[in-house]
Structure 1
């Protein structure tokens, strides 16, 4: 069979039954589901569509061509994995998922894409007329990338990991900006295809981004800080008669933590501008005051 699969091809309608038309191309007959066709096709007419082998190993042609084709890259969603084969990707066909070979996936299986992760792939047809998914490389991402704007500094972005390296993770945001996450800016290495919620910590002249998966200081409040903040929020007038000068025994009796832990919690909340400390007392910062300090 000449190279037909994974492409949009044209053939002649040669037969039909109650459910399907049959389209012949270069000696190969493809099934065409009649539910796709609004106006009946005439025998001998020409039909153009996307050709593939479905999960039942029948040759099929469809008018609803996916974006992912031979030499055409598009996004697909991972539906499952098989240790001995690779991951199966839904590219929009009703009865066919495309396999990305384990040879093209990370050596560590924990970094393989999981169900719901997204990969940019194209198709290739092997010598046995089987379709495989081909991962987009860095050049493909460079070709479709959009430059980031300077005002994105400190912005939150959603990005997908597309390249895992020892030096860090390369990602593309949902707006097609390219980004890089250094190992020091993450708790664990992202999976290939994983959707990540990141923060912009640098915008380069070439329009690429440095990103962090670590929370901002005010988002990284520890348990002691959270407990102290809750105590202030539940106080009658938003203040407590404690400070970093308070007696250790009184702190232990009221909060159940040491004075060292208490002082660290105060420090975190002061840095996050959640509280103030004056007149020997702790005061809760109101939402209006928080908003005002954020815009300063």
Structure 2
């Protein structure tokens, strides 16, 4: 089945002066010469992205856009007309956002968080700023402690609203943030807590698993620095975050666990690997 707005594995049917034609279900799909990999022959299978050109013809490319249909991505506007705006999404043909699909008046050079979808009327790929209608917490597909993909949606007084797996929304609280984040940033995270349809998320693993992961990191850093690091419970949260990439709370919990396992010792100025 041919899927517009997605990657397809298609067989080369015939060559032409301006490219090659790929086998579709009921049509041949052009892959222009500039996108044909060197050495391609009839019968080869190529992974291509499919979309419609300006004349509404289905066309293939080996370019990889910044997002495919269903993705929510941060894209930059390159031009604006009375009908809508055009966004750079990594292909030669820009992605259109109709005026009716904008929450704000888009301006060239500015970035906007949009969802890529197929317009039912035209069958073409398009984008919309009206993302909320695609998100719902009424029927959840995640559970507590599940690993998830997170996308920064918007800032609130208590933290950031995060889009979870392109399906749900959750809150990343300010006290769970230990790095600069911006709208459109993507992270791997975990479901921290679910209360009815409200979800709290976190960027690190919950509970003991997180300590185990961070423990390995601290041991590696000790080994890379001759068995000693000048960090301890008097170090500032900023110093801990900059060097270890973790909160001071996590650092203290982790080194405490390593000490109990007799893997490190504490000195007046830092931590030291136990001799085997």
Query: Shorter-chain-normalised TM-score: which range?
Result: 0.3 to 0.5
TM-score normalised to structure 2 length:
0.48
Q: Which structure is larger by alpha-carbon Rg, 1 or 2? A: 1
TM-score normalised to structure 1 length:
0.45
